[in-house]
Amino acid sequence: MKTITIATLTLIASVGLAYAGAAEGKELYTAKCVTCHGANGEGKPAIAKMMNVTQRPLASKEVQARPDAELKKVILEGQGKMKPVNGVTAKQADDIVAYLRTLK
């Protein structure tokens, strides 16, 4: 029993390290991104149609291949038809990127 507890705690600790900020990022994602990108980053046909763009799923290989710095820039400065997201600090953008990495 004790071994299991230790193993579980170690697992939680290492996952926590790998995805530092992902929990905060998930909350921010839900508040700021879900309306346009969907719960799992799959995109929203209505938004894509309205903005006349193709939305790549955020979990796709193409998006996941982009470095953290680029994804952060998209959040803070926008990209193409996506406007910069209001009220997101640089630190919060890092947390959101950490969360995006959990989508793949």
- Please select the residue that binds ligand HEC; options are 21, 22, 26, 55, rule is CB under 6 A: 55
Distance between CA 31 and CA 66 in Å, rounded?
Answer: 23
CA–CA dist 20, 85 (Å, integer)? 21
The angle formed by the CA atoms of residues 17, 22 and 26, to the nearest 5 degrees, is 165
Q: How far is the CB of 64 from ligand HEC (least distance, A)?
A: 9
Q: Is 98 in the site for ligand HEC (CB under 6 A)?
A: no
Q: Which chain residues interact with ligand HEC by CB under 6 A?
A: 32-33, 35-37, 47, 51, 53, 55-56, 58, 63, 66, 71, 74-75, 79-82, 85, 88, 96
